[in-house]
Chains A and B, each alone.
Chain A
Amino acid sequence: MSNFPFLSVLTVAPLVGALVVAFLPRHRPELAKQVAFVWSLLVLVLSVVMWVSFKAGGDRFQFRESYSWIPNWGVNFTFAADGIALVMLMLIAVLVPLVILASWHDAESSKRSVPVYFALLLVLECTMIGVFAAADVFLFYVFFEVMLVPMYFLIGSYGGHQRQYAAVKFFLYSLVGGLFMLAAVIGLWVVGGKTFDWQALSQVDISTGTERWLFLGFFLAFAIKAPFFPFHTWLPDAGGAAPAGAAALLVGVLDKVGTFGILRYCLPLFPEASKWFAPWALALGVIGIVYAALLAVGQNDLKRLVSYTSIAHFGFIGVGIFAFTTQAGTGAVLYMLNHGLATGLLFLVVGMLIARRGSALISDFGGAGKLVPVLAGVLFFAGLASLALPGTAPFISEFLVLIGTFTVNKPVAVIATLGIILAAAYVLWMVQRTTQGTLNPALTEVDGMRRDLNLREKVVVAPLIALIVLLGFYPKPVTDVINPAVQATMDDIGRTDPAPSVGTVQEARR
């Protein structure tokens, strides 16, 4: 099966689905939803087959395919996946059907075409898969930019309060980053001898000055995308205004493109510059962890709160990447996956809560657990996963990042640990103010609040809860895939892990 062109088929399939859905008659929204859902399930099945045929100990890049596209510039449709990309592809394939299911009624409240909403979700899936599957820098850039368009319309057309402002801000921020990257992409093409092939480019020697500029071009784009402090201001607006399903994809997957890009492009292509800039990147990560967590504590809007928690988590991922140890790197990649699951779940649950109450403000809730106990329970679980409680998947990744960082940079690890305490503060306080305590009398007058989770919503949350618990106890299948890829990335920048030193008894006494 390993000869099957998985990656190109996976990229194209959602696009075909999107076209089918978009041309379904507008007055039959149910049909559009069903087609979109089934289609995304097919993509999931195909991804699972791909996961199974991936050889964990095999080549770094597998499923490589290459077709000529613009020979004049040396551009090819080259797809290939390493362990990191594979994990992200699985995350997409799992999240999209759940998001479609969770968004079943989201588009109806907006007076806009329902089939188009689901078509846009599928287009988004196509571009997301493409961006992780590309092994040609030009192709990567194309997907990186085109990805903005469906998301822009999802936020702008189907979003909530201030959606226009949020959509434009999202688009402009990403485009600015993208254009810096375009300059760097062209620069890389020129110094790399007019090729865009990742593997060829990673062999090129670049002079120190040029390498630093090119690194900055790429890093800026990824730092805006991820987003790292201080480029994060678009995310709370976009996350707050986007419909819950789109927000789950935005934070769960789209932003991972930033951290993935750093791992795939910044570190291997510009190893020296990466090391040179690492202290700065670590500083941004640490500031992000503390600053965003503090802001999250102060939020009164549920979706903005979740957005800020994500920025804090991206700080962790950034620290893990730039610590340059295999443990921290593996932790960071694992975090990318777990954060997608946990924050995806949190966003979807929060979305269900908001849909019932008709308001995203925490102060409009209070004691909701008495009316919708199951929903409140799921919210509590999602919150605990998000604060990285041991037993949930994010704990393992956060722990790996921290110990991996501690071996090389103690101050950063210590400050980052503060983030865990703050995470407990914002999650627990949010849960307390929404679902615990005395019942807010206004809630009883809202019809929606009397309905607990229905079957559809249970089907949405169940797989995510299962995965979070499963990976919390047994992450080995994932780490087996990630480890070699991270190891290879560390080799690219020429860093080896510090040898573990066990203090002898004499030393301890001395």
Chain B
Amino acid sequence: MTELKLPSLDYAALAPILIMLGAALVGVLVEAFVPRRSRHVVQLTLALLAVLAALTMVVLNADDRLITAGQAISVDGPTLFLQGAILVLAAMALLLIGDRSVERGGAFVAQAAVTAESADDRRQAEGRNGLTEIYPLTTFAIGGMLIFVAANDLLTMFIALEVFSLPLYLLCALARRRRLLSQEAAMKYFLLGAYASAFFLFGVALIYGFTSGIPGRGAGVDFSTINAAVTESPTSPVLLFAGMALLAIGLLFKAAAAPFHVWTPDVYQGAPTPVTGFMAACTKVAAFGALLRVFHVAFAGAAWDFTPVLGAVAVLTMLVGAVLAVTQTDIKRLLAYSSIANAGYLLVGVLSPSRDGLSGTMFYLVAYGFSVLAAFAVVTLVRDADGEATHLSRWAGLGRRSPFYAGLFTFILLAFAGIPLTSGFTSKFAIFGPALDGGQAWLVIAGVLTSMVLAFPYLRVVVMMWLSEPGESTPTVTVPGGLTSAALMIGVLATLVLGVAPAPLLDLATGAADFVR
């Protein structure tokens, strides 16, 4: 019997991941042993501290460029930048998740197993404290995302995908109000997500088959092997193309790109709003981080083959997102379609293979994450007796009732519309500039045209808030407690700062824009 050779582990480089997963496990123990009334505080503190510690480790590791744990995890510039982004955005999302001042007991259900719309359900909605299992679930999801952007082979990537997806399915089902909608959203997300995972896994198998033919080298699904196989393998490229397509389906599903986007509006609408914000910001970063690595590292040699297809997907995504956003009457669905359109812009960035393209995409992810979290933070505040009032007609005249929050939301919408002096403009520039430089003029033109269409729904909300008279049913804006206020202000300030002085973050992104291969 041959001795099993253990791969060396660089614990410092893996620390952010280990901290998050460890904190999640501790969180499970807290559920078991800490008395119910203090669980909320303990769990929230634990989760935030873990995020902070992981972030510290990311900063300390800033100069790492290595591959560890066999060939499974690569810690390089993009990994660290995106991990940092996920952690910062996740901290904001945790602030929203942990808030209990806007709604008594928080945005989450007290007992998920109660039959929806029953008398028990109505009782729990009236202010019993929400579940605290959400914190370990969120922490697991964050940990999975950290692995996802660092994964250096397809199997690790698949496991990470499941680690962050499963908690998200659950989190979607835990809204305090409108339980049926929430459960339906979770069901849809789960079923479609399971399909997408299956596609991904099948793609991994095909790619494994494709790599088996390289002379003098074993088959494998780590990225350097795939990269070598793309140029050297004598096997028919059909396996490669089919495998790439299936992998792309799995990843584009998470990124909410058309035609794999159909879950997005339903899930965004049904999920508890803080979770929606978490998904819109962090899942997007994770999904695009993985897309960047897969297509820039593993399949770099096949760029001529995948660029037209992914380009078509990008154009379709921008079109679908922009055009359907125009017809929406619910603010959460509107933001969902806007996030689909933004996935399209990000895909344009993915297709710019230059260093500037990579750094631009990463910049866009961060900028968009801040803005979208702030947008959902405002959505949690506009409410009436039945919870959040998300129908657009209800927002009429909001600017008159509470000019401050309507002003913040207007600013965020202007950022989404790409008006200069907001991060929306600088990030569009960061994406379109390298794309045009790389000769992808058609993508830029599609991006510009869809931006025009997309401006209309944003503007309609602004008109609703400021230029319409308040009606009888205009809800009030709840004055938020410290946690939501903090998340909101961070998001708005970041949107402003990244719009006015983007240079520091751009420098950081440019410095990080180099994959270790």
Give A contacts to B, CB under 8 Å.
69-73, 141-142, 145-146, 148-149, 153, 156-157, 163-164, 167-168, 171-172, 175-176, 179-180, 182-183, 186-187, 189-190
Contacts and interface: CB of A to CB of B under 8 A. Distances in A.
22 contacts: A70-B426, A70-B501, A70-B506, A71-B503, A72-B506, A73-B506, A145-B419, A146-B420, A149-B414, A153-B466, A156-B463, A157-B467, A168-B463, A172-B452, A172-B455, A182-B429, A182-B432, A183-B432, A186-B429, A186-B432, A186-B433, A187-B441
Interface string B466-482: 11100000000000000
Given A72-B503, A156-B463, A164 B468 contact: yes
A238 to B, nearest CB: 14
Given A70-B502, A145-B420, A156-B463, 19 more contacts: A72-B502, A72-B507, A73-B429, A73-B433, A73-B506, A142-B421, A142-B425, A146-B419, A156-B467, A163-B467, A164-B467, A167-B467, A168-B463, A171-B459, A175-B455, A182-B432, A183-B436, A186-B432, A190-B436
B126 interface: no
A172 B456 contact: yes
A302 to B, nearest CB: 23
A258 to B, nearest CB: 18
Contacts of B414: 149
A186 B459 contact: no
A156 B510 CA distance: 41
B417 interface: yes
A357 B445 CA distance: 49
Contacts of B459: 168, 171-172
B420 A189 contact: no
B451 interface: yes
B432 A149 contact: no
B117 interface: no
Nearest to B450: A179
A78 to B, nearest CB: 16
Contacts, number: 81
A81 to B, nearest CB: 21
A180 B448 contact: yes
A172 B459 CA distance: 9
Nearest to A184: B448
Interface centre among B426, B459, B507 (most CB of A within 10 A): B459
A183 B507 contact: no
Main secondary structure on chain B at its contact with chain A?
helix
B102 interface: no
A171 B445 CA distance: 20
Contacts of A172: 452, 455-456, 459
A157 B397 CA distance: 12
Contacts of A186: 429, 432-433, 436, 444
A200 to B, nearest CB: 17
Contact of A72 (B437, B455, B510): B510
A510 B227 CA distance: 84
Contacts of B420: 141-142, 145-146
Interface string B426-439: 10110011001100
A157 B466 contact: yes
A164 B507 CA distance: 42
A179 B451 contact: yes
Classify chain B: how many residues form its interface, as a range. 35 or more
Contacts of B506: 70, 72-73
A141 B448 CA distance: 15
Contact of B433 (A145, A146, A171, A190): A190
Contacts of B433: 73, 186, 189-190
A180 B437 CA distance: 17
A183 B419 contact: no
From A69, A72, A175, A176, name the one whose CB has the most chain B CB atoms within 10 angstroms.
Answer: A72
Contacts of B426: 70
Q: Which 5 pairs across A and B sit closest by C-beta, in order of nearness? A: A142-B420, A72-B506, A164-B467, A183-B448, A156-B467
Interface string B188-208: 000000000000000000000
A176 B452 contact: yes
Contacts of B456: 172
Contact of A187 (B436, B460, B503): B436
Contacts of B507: 72
Contacts of A176: 452
A168 B462 CA distance: 10
Interface string B496-517: 0000011100110010000000
Nearest to B464: A164
A128 B300 CA distance: 47
Contacts of A149: 414, 419
B140 to A, nearest CB: 36
Contacts of B448: 179-180, 182-183
Nearest to B435: A186
Contact of B463 (A145, A167, A187, A189): A167
Contacts of A145: 419-420, 425
Contacts of B466: 153, 156-157
A164 B503 contact: no
A148 B467 CA distance: 16
A172 B457 CA distance: 11
B203 to A, nearest CB: 35
A187 B455 CA distance: 22
Nearest to A185: B429
Contacts of A171: 455, 459
A71 B419 CA distance: 20
A114 to B, nearest CB: 14
A273 B463 CA distance: 39
B445 A183 contact: yes
B460 to A, nearest CB: 8
Nearest to A175: B455
Contacts of B463: 156, 164, 167-168
Contacts of A187: 436, 441
B427 to A, nearest CB: 12
Given A146-B421, A164-B467, A164-B468, A175 B452 contact: yes
B352 to A, nearest CB: 12
Interface string B407-420: 00000001001111
Contacts of B418: 179, 182
Contacts of B501: 69-70
A146 to B, nearest CB: 6
B419 to A, nearest CB: 6
A65 B429 CA distance: 24
A239 to B, nearest CB: 18
A70 B503 contact: yes
Contacts of A148: 419
B393 to A, nearest CB: 15
A175 B467 contact: no
A175 B417 contact: yes
Residue among A69, A148, A175 with the highest chain B CB neighbour number at 10 A: A175
Contacts of B502: 70, 72
A70 B507 CA distance: 10
B338 to A, nearest CB: 16
Nearest to B356: A72
A38 B503 CA distance: 37
Contacts of A175: 417, 452, 455
Contacts of A179: 418, 448-449, 451-452
B58 to A, nearest CB: 22
A70 B421 CA distance: 12
A182 B506 CA distance: 20
Contacts of B444: 183, 186
Interface in B120-136: none
A471 B270 CA distance: 66
B126 to A, nearest CB: 38
Nearest to A159: B467
Contacts of A146: 419-421
Nearest to B468: A164
A54 B262 CA distance: 61
A167 to B, nearest CB: 7
Contact of B437 (A168, A182, A190): A190
